[in-house]
Amino acid sequence: MPYRRYRPHRQFGIHDTHTFKMRLRKHVSERMPVFELPKAVQASDVRIYESSEPELFSRQIVQDERKQAEQNLKAIFSNYQPNTPKNMVQSLLNKEFAKTHGQPAYVFQAEEPLCDGVDQASILSNAIVRETLPDWVMKNVDEFDIPEEYVRDSILHGEKYDPTLEKLPIRHDPIIFWIRHPRVFGTPVVKRGNTILDNLFRQVYFAGRRNGKLQGLIVKRDPWISAYTESSNLFGDRPFVLRFRPHVLVESENADIPQLRPWLNQVEEASKEPLPDIYPISPLVDLQTDKFYHDYDGANALLTGIHKDMFKDLNPELLKDLSKEQLERLGALMSPNRNKSRFLAAMWCCERNQKYPWTTEQHAANAILHTYGLALAEANRRFFDLQLAEKALASNPIIMRGAQLFEGKLDLVTIQLNTMHHNSERKNFVWLQRALPLYKPRPYYEEMHELGQVEMGTMKKFTALIAGHPPKQTS
């Protein structure tokens, strides 16, 4: 809840200034002892540099440090036998490393809105969009019983009960824009939405366990998702990379679950439908351009035991100089699927831009690409070879679910990944229901004392989408 901080009327006076200067003068006059190098460090075989040397940061010293780091890297790799799985993966990745390292790519990071909305997202995901939810979702709407009191309490956890006090953004009034509003402190909008989604999923999980379902789930918080597709006629000679960070990621630890093949017989017929035409707007106009570094290499290096601090000292031919945030992205999901878990669904929240707000159409497009990226990430984890992935997806497509919360409304998306190539004759399926009202929130700078009406129909659809399972085969 937002609050205004107490501002004292008494300002910093003359007496306080004299006291401060007196204490500062006493602190500055104290002499610090001279630093002496410990004898244990002097006895060890460690190269020591003087901070007063003019060539401390010279090129020669940096090269010596990188050579030492490369020797440590070779020593780590030499400890493995050639027949171990890690070295087999490493040898495979080294062959593909030269092809993808430093290659320009189109990147989607959910930072810019898609100007043409759902039609543009349909082209980027190579999917046929249906403005409804799948049949199996609608049939499972009344299967899970969650009382309205639990839903209201879950929403109030984020809107009212959260005790966070952070400085909120400056309020911008689009009409009287010259007015300077007082700064308020409270819970940020994204944190409110994440708390609400976390509590709603907890209610869904408990309802499923009461019915004997939703067993063997793994729930992760704020993981990095990174997925890519190869170059095609749409993207030219550049790959398409999707990077984002949902708040809740649901996985299934059961690797032997039966393959879900709904709507498999409709793929050939539906693929004959043309994709939307948004000419003269280019589908790539809102994508960022960045260097694409093969994420497998960074993740595999983390698996081999190399400390994260060594990355910045390695030769750029081996790895790029990476920041801590990029290391989290590389090591999160692009490594080989070691635990054999499978992605099921993801949930995230969006914040309204005060000066340049997104439309409902643009938020729906953002939800489609988020879910599409999650399905691609699952395909990247399962298959190293994309041609092998195409054969596998033809008989066993990937089903992925996504839910996006924005200003009390939910965008529900289901995608069936039939192909990863935009040049393929097959097309993907997307089911979308946009802006389903769940509750009416207050502006971020106002307090919510009472929660109004809660749409339980939207909550039932959300529960059926996340907790329901499609049939093995439908005609």
Bigger pLDDT: 83 vs 392: 392
- Would you say residue 7 has pLDDT above 60? no
Say how many CA atoms lie within 13 Å of 263 toward its Cβ: 23
Rounded to an integer, the average pLDDT of 187-208 is 93
Are the CB atoms for 467 and 252 separated by under 8 Å?
Answer: no
- Would you say residue 393 has pLDDT above 80? yes
Rounded to an integer, the average pLDDT of 174-198 is 91
Are the CB atoms for 242 and 87 separated by under 8 Å?
Answer: no
- Distance of CA 53 to CAs 35, 42, 64, 461, Å? 16, 19, 17, 68
- Would you say residue 154 has pLDDT above 90? yes
Are the CB atoms for 376 and 228 separated by under 8 Å?
Answer: yes
Domain range for 243 is 107-287+339-467
Bigger pLDDT: 50 vs 256: 50
Between CA 401 and CA 246 the distance in angstroms is 12
Between CA 256 and CA 182 the distance in angstroms is 57
Q: Are strands 240-244 and 225-229 parallel, antiparallel or unpaired?
A: antiparallel
Q: What is the CA radius of gyration of the chain?
A: 27
Q: Which two tokens stand for residue 266?
A: 């409709």
| CB proximity list for 44: less than 8 A, separation 6 or greater | none
pLDDT (0 to 100) of residue 71: 66
pLDDT (0 to 100) of residue 214: 81
Q: Is residue 320 part of a domain?
A: no
- pLDDT band for position 12 (50/70/90)? low
Question: Whole-number mean pLDDT of the chain?
Answer: 78
Between CA 140 and CA 131 the distance in angstroms is 18
Between CA 34 and CA 170 the distance in angstroms is 48
Q: Strand runs (DSSP E) across 103-184, as ranges?
A: 103-108, 127-130, 166-167
pLDDT tens, residue by residue, 37-81: 888 888 887 777 777 776 666 656 666 766 766 665 565 555 544
- Would you say residue 412 has pLDDT above 90? yes
pLDDT tens, residue by residue, 353-380: 998 999 999 999 999 999 999 999 998 8
Are the CB atoms for 70 and 204 separated by under 8 Å?
Answer: no
Q: Is residue 301 part of a domain?
A: no
Distance of CA 8 to the CA centre of its chain: 42
- Would you say residue 471 has pLDDT above 70? no
Between CA 431 and CA 128 the distance in angstroms is 9
Percent of the chain with pLDDT over 70: 72
Are the CB atoms for 263 and 238 separated by under 8 Å?
Answer: no
pLDDT (0 to 100) of residue 263: 59
DSSP state of 161: I
Between CA 124 and CA 136 the distance in angstroms is 26
- Would you say residue 384 has pLDDT above 80? no
| CB proximity list for 197: less than 8 A, separation 6 or greater | 247, 248, 347, 348, 349, 403, 405
AA letter at 127? A
- pLDDT band for position 11 (50/70/90)? low
471, 415, 465, 470: which is closest to 204 by C-alpha? Answer: 465
DSSP state of 4: P
Between CA 449 and CA 159 the distance in angstroms is 9
Region of residue 137 (phi > 0: left; psi between -120 and 50: alpha; otherwise: beta): alpha
Q: Is residue 261 part of a domain?
A: yes
Bigger pLDDT: 338 vs 415: 415
Bigger pLDDT: 91 vs 424: 424
pLDDT (0 to 100) of residue 319: 39
pLDDT tens, residue by residue, 417-458: 989 888 888 899 999 999 999 999 999 998 888 999 999 999
Q: Is residue 300 part of a domain?
A: no
Bigger pLDDT: 28 vs 61: 28
Between CA 303 and CA 326 the distance in angstroms is 16
AA letter at 444? Y
Q: Is residue 280 part of a domain?
A: yes
Q: Is residue 64 part of a domain?
A: no
187, 61, 199, 155: which is closest to 452 by C-alpha? Answer: 155
Between CA 304 and CA 306 the distance in angstroms is 6
Starting at the earlier edge strand, list the strands of the sheet with 217-221: 127-130, 428-437, 409-417, 398-406, 342-349, 248-252, 217-221
AA letter at 60? Q
pLDDT (0 to 100) of residue 46: 75
Q: Is residue 333 part of a domain?
A: no
Work out the angle between the directed axes of helices 85-100 and 295-303 (0-180°, nearest 10). Answer: 150
pLDDT (0 to 100) of residue 333: 37
- pLDDT band for position 204 (50/70/90)? very high
**Beta-carbon count within 10 A of 294 CB:** 21
User: Comparing 35-44, 91-100, 156-165, 263-272, which segment has the lowest mean pLDDT?
Assistant: 91-100
Q: Are strands 288-292 and 240-244 parallel, antiparallel or unpaired?
A: unpaired
- Would you say residue 195 has pLDDT above 80? yes
Cα-flanking dihedrals φ and ψ of residue 279, to 5°? -60, 140
- pLDDT band for position 239 (50/70/90)? confident
pLDDT (0 to 100) of residue 300: 46
**How many domains, the chain?**
1
| CB proximity list for 90: less than 8 A, separation 6 or greater | 77, 300, 304
Q: Which two tokens stand for residue 383?
A: 């298959």
Between CA 232 and CA 219 the distance in angstroms is 34
- Would you say residue 326 has pLDDT above 50? no
pLDDT (0 to 100) of residue 338: 46
The model scores a pTM over 0.85: no
- Would you say residue 278 has pLDDT above 50? yes
Q: Is residue 413 part of a domain?
A: yes
